[in-house]
Chains A and B, each alone.
Chain A
Amino acid sequence: MLLNPFEIIIMIIALAAGTMITRFTPFLLFPEGKTQPAVITWLGKALPPAMMGLLVIYCLRHVSFTAAPHGLPEFLAIGAIALVHLWRRNVLLSIGGGTVLYMILVQLVFA
Chain B
Amino acid sequence: MKQSPKQSTETTKKSAEAPTRRRITEFRQAARAALPLTLPVLTGFLFLGIAFGVLMQTKGYHVGWSVLMSICVFGGSIQFIAVTLLTVAFNPLQAFLMSLLVNARHLFYGLSMLDRYRGLGKIRAFLVFALCDETYSIVSSVAVPSTINKKYFYIIVSAADYLYWVIGTLCGGLLGRFVSFNTKGLDFVLTALFVVLFIEQFKTKENRLPGIIGLACTTVGLALAGPQNLILPSMGLILVSLLIMRKIQCS
Q: Which residues of A contact B (CB under 8 A)?
A: 1-3, 7-8, 10-27, 30, 32, 36, 39-62, 73-74, 77-78, 81-82, 85-86, 91-92, 94-96, 98-99, 102-103, 105-107
Instruction: State the CA gap A85–B200 with chains docked (Å).
Output: 9
Q: Is B152 an interface residue when CB atoms closer than 8 A count as contact?
A: no
Q: Mark B96-121, 1 if CB is under 8 A from A, else 0.
A: 11111001111111111111011100
Instruction: Indicate which residue in B65, B75, B129, B184 contacts A8 across the interface (CB closer than 8 Å).
Output: B65
Q: Are A81 and B242 neighbours in the complex by a CB distance under 8 Å?
A: no
Which chain B positions have C-beta within 8 A of A98? Answer: 188, 192, 195-196
**Which of B185, B222, B242 contacts A61, CB < 8 Å?**
B222
Summed over the interface, the residue pairs from A and B with CB atoms below 8 Å come to a total of 272
Nearest neighbor of A50 in chain B, beta-carbon distance = B214
- Select one of B82, B99, B216 contacting A17, CB under 8 A: B99
A1-B60, A49-B201 known; 9 other A-B pairs, CB under 8 Å?
Answer: A2-B59, A11-B82, A24-B128, A46-B246, A47-B210, A51-B136, A54-B235, A57-B214, A60-B191
The B interface is mostly helix, strand or loop, or mixed, namely helix
CB contact between A49 and one of B96, B105, B202 (< 8 Å): that residue: B202
Set of chain B residues within 8 Å of A92, measured between Cβ atoms: 36, 39-40
Check if A48 sits within 8 Å of B86, measured CB to CB. no
Q: Which 5 A-B pairs have the closest CB atoms?
A: A53-B214, A18-B99, A26-B110, A50-B214, A57-B218
Query: How far is the CB of A37 from the nearest CB of chain B, in Å?
Result: 11
The answer for the CA separation of A12 and B191 in the assembled complex, in Å, is 27
> Nearest chain B CB to A29's CB is how many angstroms away?
9
